[in-house]
């Protein structure tokens, strides 16, 4: 068991938990995978068309059509998933927060819950939502030129986050208290850990 800072979800495709330290890499993985599938789909169209015109054998034709169909559906799936994560980052939410904190109101006419499909559901705002640009900077890093590169440049420690009430330039004494809190947590004896650092 392990505590994951700002855990978004457990991803079975990468067999790991997605959280503070690897969310940028997960975000870029989805983006580049969607772009690669779209590229394959559009570049395969000429090959499929040529195979139909030249009346290729059944097996090569099957492989081309199967590959075209597979890239089409993966493109839609990954692009939608990436768009969902863009929305989550813009609101400073994790996948777990989206699933747990989204509330569905019952209809007033007594028909019961509409399960979020009838348009009367509302989402609880994240207390860490500081605007789309600052939210993206918190996930992808301060320098927008490095956002699309798998380079770690996030200026946070994963324990303290900006909120609307956070001043733009925190005082030195506040930073010192964070360091003191970190040192105090390192001294706590945990089950299975006999050493204290």
Look up 118 and say whether it is catalytic: no
From CA 140, how far away is CA 132, in angstroms rounded?
12
Q: Report residue 160 as tokens.
A: 């303290």
Contact between 25 and 153 under an 8 Å Cβ cutoff? The reply is no
Of the residues 11, 37, 99, 114, which is catalytic? 11
Longest dimension (CA), the chain: 75
* Location of structure tokens 């299975």: 192
Buried b (16+ CB within 10 A) or exposed e, 23-57: bbebbbbbbebbeebbebbeebeeebeebeeeebe
From CA 74, how far away is CA 69, in angstroms rounded?
9
Active-site residue list:
11
């Amino acid at each position: 068991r392990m505590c994951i800072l700002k855990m978004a979800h457990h991803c079975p495709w990468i067999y790991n938990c997605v959280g503070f330290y690897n969310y940028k890499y997960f975000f870029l993985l989805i983006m580049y995978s969607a772009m690669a599938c779209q590229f394959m789909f559009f570049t395969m169209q000429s090959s499929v068309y040529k195979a139909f015109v030249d009346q290729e054998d059944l097996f090569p034709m099957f492989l081309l059509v199967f590959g075209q169909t597979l890239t089409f559906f993966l493109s839609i799936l990954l692009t939608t998933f990436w768009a969902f994560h863009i929305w989550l980052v813009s609101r400073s939410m994790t996948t777990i927060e989206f699933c747990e904190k989204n509330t569905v109101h019952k209809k007033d006419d007594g028909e019961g819950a509409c399960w979020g499909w009838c348009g009367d559901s509302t989402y609880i705002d994240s207390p860490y939502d500081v605007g789309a640009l600052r939210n993206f900077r918190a996930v992808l890093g301060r320098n927008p030129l490095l956002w699309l590169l798998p380079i770690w440049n996030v200026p946070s420690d994963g324990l303290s986050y900006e909120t609307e009430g956070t001043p733009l330039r925190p005082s030195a004494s506040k930073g010192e208290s964070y360091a003191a809190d970190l040192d105090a947590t390192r001294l706590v004896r945990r089950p299975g850990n006999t050493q204290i650092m």
